[in-house]
Structure 1
Amino acid sequence: MSSLTASGLSRLLGEWNAGATPGYRELADVVRLLVLDGRVALDTALPSERALSEALGVSRTMVTAAYGLLREQGFLTGGQGSRSRTRIPRLTPAGTTLFTGPARNDPALTAPGLAAPEGLIDLAYASLPASGEVVHRAFAAALTELPALLPGFGYDALGLLPLREAVAARYTAAGAPTTAGQIMVTSGAQHALNIILRSLAGRQDRVLVEHPSYPNALDAIRAAGCRPVPVAFSAGPGTGTRGARAHGALAGAAQAWDMAALQAVLQQQRPRLAYVVPDFHNPTGQLMPDLQRRHLVRAAAAAGTVLVVDETLRELNLDGVETAPVAAFSPAVVTIGSLSKSHWGGLRTGWIRASEDLVQRFAAARTSLDLGGPLMEQLAAAHLVRALDEPLPARIAALRDSRAALLELLAGHLPEWEATYPSGGLSAWCRLPAPISTALTVIAPDFGIRLAAGPRFGIGGAFERYLRVPFTLPPDKLEAAVLALRSAQDRLEAAPQLRRTLKSAPAVAIA
């Protein structure tokens, strides 16, 4: 179980005592927001009343009253005199449905894996269309090479050697010397993570995750019977830029990895695995600096934790900030890569980079899932990886324009939203003016859009005040989407009864 020291909670609270209401209420309000925003993970033991009162320089009576109020509201468990643990209250009984209507009951809007119906702007997917001519040319070349493979059986759990050599060469050029024997080709990044979990983690094993994190990764961890251990992002200087207006339209909240919290959880809980997305974090678009990468690698090694790094978005470096692959700091790092975000999700081609011993272990575990990927796609992928930089300059330039357009539209039409400035990737993480993320998601189809609710990116109902908004659409579509968001929020403001939180966010396909 994780715990928070008095000094750690004091640092997260910041300037909490504005004097507008009684001190115990202000203290309780800020702690509650920290829990709802995911900055204090669920099931975390808070410091004792005495320790916190000493750290904050306030009376113990004030802290006792604040904790008591949080217990009444359902945000803390435990009684006075014992370590209180954070939780999210259940506001509605199981099975309650607050919204009805044909659009909201359409299976295509809620069933995982199904695309949105024609005419609906899909903001649940943070993905790009294919880099057209480049992908087509790669498949045309692959078609001429396919006959050489036809005499064989067509099964290869490790993947085609030319593709593994091309991927290894990319890592070597980036500062992480790699051989083809350290690469296993998979059917995308999600497939790679499932193989890793099946190979290295057992039921009830702990897996450290960032909070928020990629929903499909959280689903895979739960499906493997593992217990995700969330570590919240910390809010750095300039936290929360209202409407992304500071420094012009391209500013945003400076959220970063809380290395002290990561190291504490690794030391206290010694999870079997740690799954992180340092390039660029999904959903926030943040980039982990090299110094933090080095500290993370050392902390994981000291805890005996296998560090699993998802680099699916690494190539979408919009601001050109250079970092080394995490694998450059340790041969023990397991890395996941993919062409899904840089080139096209339809390729379904990814890979795992690890030690040769681990790669052989992954290949053995894979045979219970499949016997290898399709060879035609791998032939094409080898061409794409060898010329990986060809489509990227134009894609990145277009994404920069769309990022700027989205942040300007949010500032103009939803100025009360706070958008984290994404230095890369495909989406912005937006803090909403109220805990309405699920409600927005449920009514969004009535306004022509599909959303992924904030709680899908967290554990235990956190992030009701957040929404991921991709900037993968052209500016005109982004404008229509933001206007639809404005209309949906206006609807909620006009009908306060719709603001209640559902038991869980609707299940939608998320990429």
Structure 2
Amino acid sequence: MVVGERRINGHLLARLIGAIPRTRPYYLAVARAISGLVLDGRVPTHTRLPAERDLATALGVSRNTVTAAYAWLRENGYLDSRQGAGSWTVLPGVGAGGLAPFVPDTEHIDLGVAAPPAIDGLRTAARLAGEQLAAHVGGQGYAPLGLPELRHAVARRYVERGLPTTPEQIFVTNGAQQAVALLMELLVGPGDGVVVESPTYPHPLDTARHLGARLRPVGVSPRGWEMEYLLDALRQWRPALAYLIPDFHNPTGALMDDGQRAELVAGARRAGTALIIDESVAELAIDSGEQPAPVAVHDTDGRVHTVGSAAKLLWGGLRIGWIRTTPPMAARLMALRQRFDLASPVLEQLTVTHLLSDVMRIRAERSRQLRRNRDALAAALRERLPDWEFVLPEGGLVLWARLPHPVASTLGENAHRHGVHPAPGPVFGAEGTLEHYVRLAYTQPPEILVDAVRRLAGAYADTVARPAPTPRELYV
């Protein structure tokens, strides 16, 4: 990382800081606001802050106030400065940390894995797929682009959502994670910049790092994206790729509106940036209301590559995903895939094809389940942990809660002793931030979620009384 390579101007930083409490000392309010933005990942580490005079003008305070705020940030480990190089954000005493693979926890109430149970109708679809298998067993069983009937079903669903799509634009994968990895292999080279949200789904970050990319985090909160900041990142860094989750964002639950989607694609076009749009939970709206059209509606030159999955809507055991892209890109993906595997399982593809023919009923059923679970989790949190803050997500599978104290990793360790397993915020950050947050999946029945929050409240009480550093894990 080149010091000062990222920049934020005074106007934008002032917007992120917001209104300053008119209680003295002013400098401390400014300093604490900036340190909070760094800890929450909304201002990435190694970002050069604006000159003191520029920030003072944007905030409407004296330069001495900003000078004192920067001094407090330096003294408390949030700012580093060099003569002639300016001042840039850092984290106080935080190393890179080792991230171990995560597996579902069967001995605790698991709030870490966002995987719902199988939808009604899965067994019937599997039986019908088994009967249909007879038509395929005479061949080799390999369909490198995906079975034609599944590609037609997926394309039809995009058309129903307002995005004209042909089967030739669909490439079937073994889940969304493989889809993202294959796209990154083709779109990213060593040293390329990749814009990612902070927080975000962690596994694509590992793929980008493995490819030698330079991550460029841009903050997102449960209330949405700072579009000016995101567009400025595209304009300033001109990254090769941006990986974004605009539909019920994982983990914040935010939903990008139509206007922002159009701005995003236009900004990417100007910057020459390809977009991977992760729609893994796009079909999981909970509250009523019209959903935005897919981001690719605004695409005019084939730079938007949309990833979908059967896992979250139907069942995690169906390892079927897909990419909506251009036919030439689908051919490139097929050639690359031969390094890893030859095709997706025929029986699972047939099963998903049958289920997609009943997708509206399935969506309604899943929405009822998730609304019941989400509301039970939210009510239990308000009763037992009233000082935890959250925005009720309109869809998706997870709730992103803000803790009063930056103890998420320690809470994760203590929670195990209470028989519950949350997902600490730092595993969703690119740079060790987000200790104020935990992600809680609401895929369990209400009675289990209520018990889980009771256990979590006990773990939190222990954590606040005896905080201690703990290792971190990866979550899905």
Task: Determine if the TM-score, normalized by the shorter chain, exceeds 0.5.
Answer: yes
Within 5 Å, give how 1:283-362 maps onto structure 2: 283-321=251-289, 322-331=291-300, 332=302, 333-362=304-333
CA contact (8 A) 2:97 2:472 kept: no
Matched, 1:200 2:166: no
Aligned CA distance change for structure 1 residues 54 and 440 (closer, same or farther; 3 Å): same
1:92 offset after TM fit, Å? 7.6
CA contact (8 A) 2:31 2:69 kept: yes
Equivalent of residue 106 in structure 2, options 117, 130, 145:
117
1:493 offset after TM fit, Å? 2.4
**Structure 2 CA distance, aligned partners of 1:18 and 1:440?**
34
Within 5 Å, give how 1:448-467 maps onto structure 2: 448-467=419-438
Matched, 1:78 2:81: yes
Q: Deviations over 1:413-454 (max 9, x none)?
A: 111100122011011111100000000011111000112210
**Structure 2 CA distance, aligned partners of 1:346 and 1:361?**
27
For 1:305, the aligned partner's letter is T
Equivalent of residue 25 in structure 1, options 21, 25, 28:
28
**Structure 2 CA distance, aligned partners of 1:439 and 1:113?**
17
The 10-residue stretch of structure 1 (427-436 or 207-216) with the greater mean CA deviation from structure 2 = 207-216
Q: How many residues align?
A: 469
Q: Deviations over 1:273-319 (max 9, x none)?
A: 11111111111111111111111111111111011111110111111
CA contact (8 A) 2:94 2:432 kept: no
Helix, strand or coil: the match of 2:153? helix
Helix, strand or coil: the match of 1:315? coil
1:57 offset after TM fit, Å? 2.6
Aligned CA distance change for structure 1 residues 94 and 340 (closer, same or farther; 3 Å): closer
What percent of counterpart residues are identical? 43
Q: 2:240: which partner in 1?
A: 272
**Structure 1 CA distance, aligned partners of 2:84 and 2:186?**
43
Aligned CA distance change for structure 1 residues 113 and 68 (closer, same or farther; 3 Å): closer
Equivalent of residue 453 in structure 2, options 475, 482, 489:
482
CA contact (8 A) 2:277 2:295 kept: yes
CA contact (8 A) 1:92 1:501 kept: no
TM-score for both structures, normalised by structure 1: 0.88
For 1:405, the aligned partner's letter is A
**Structure 1 CA distance, aligned partners of 2:141 and 2:213?**
34
Matched, 1:506 2:476: no
CA contact (8 A) 2:191 2:214 kept: yes
Q: Deviations over 1:165-205 (max 9, x none)?
A: 11011111211111111001000000000110111111221
For 2:251, the aligned partner's letter is P
RMSD (Å), alpha carbons:
1.8
Q: 1:60: which partner in 2?
A: 63
Within 5 Å, give how 1:201-280 maps onto structure 2: 201-233=188-220, 255-280=223-248
**Structure 2 CA distance, aligned partners of 1:92 and 1:148?**
56
CA contact (8 A) 2:285 2:395 kept: yes
**Structure 2 CA distance, aligned partners of 1:425 and 1:164?**
24
For 1:436, the aligned partner's letter is V
The 10-residue stretch of structure 1 (270-279 or 380-389) with the greater mean CA deviation from structure 2 = 380-389
Q: 1:129: which partner in 2?
A: 117
Aligned CA distance change for structure 1 residues 30 and 80 (closer, same or farther; 3 Å): farther
Within 5 Å, give how 1:382-397 maps onto structure 2: 382-397=353-368
**Structure 1 CA distance, aligned partners of 2:61 and 2:102?**
52
1:80 offset after TM fit, Å? 6.1
TM-score for both structures, normalised by structure 2: 0.95
CA contact (8 A) 1:91 1:501 kept: no
After superposing on structure 2, the runs of 4+ consecutive aligned residues of structure 1 that deviate more than 6 Å are 92-95
1:111 offset after TM fit, Å? 5.6
Helix, strand or coil: the match of 1:181? helix
Matched, 1:39 2:42: yes
1:385 offset after TM fit, Å? 1.6
Q: 2:153: which partner in 1?
A: 166
Structure 1 residue runs without a partner (length 5+): 96-109, 235-253
Q: 2:90: which partner in 1?
A: 87
Aligned CA distance change for structure 1 residues 369 and 93 (closer, same or farther; 3 Å): closer
1:393 offset after TM fit, Å? 1.2
Structure 2 residue runs without a partner (length 5+): none
1:408 offset after TM fit, Å? 1.2
Aligned CA distance change for structure 1 residues 260 and 92 (closer, same or farther; 3 Å): closer
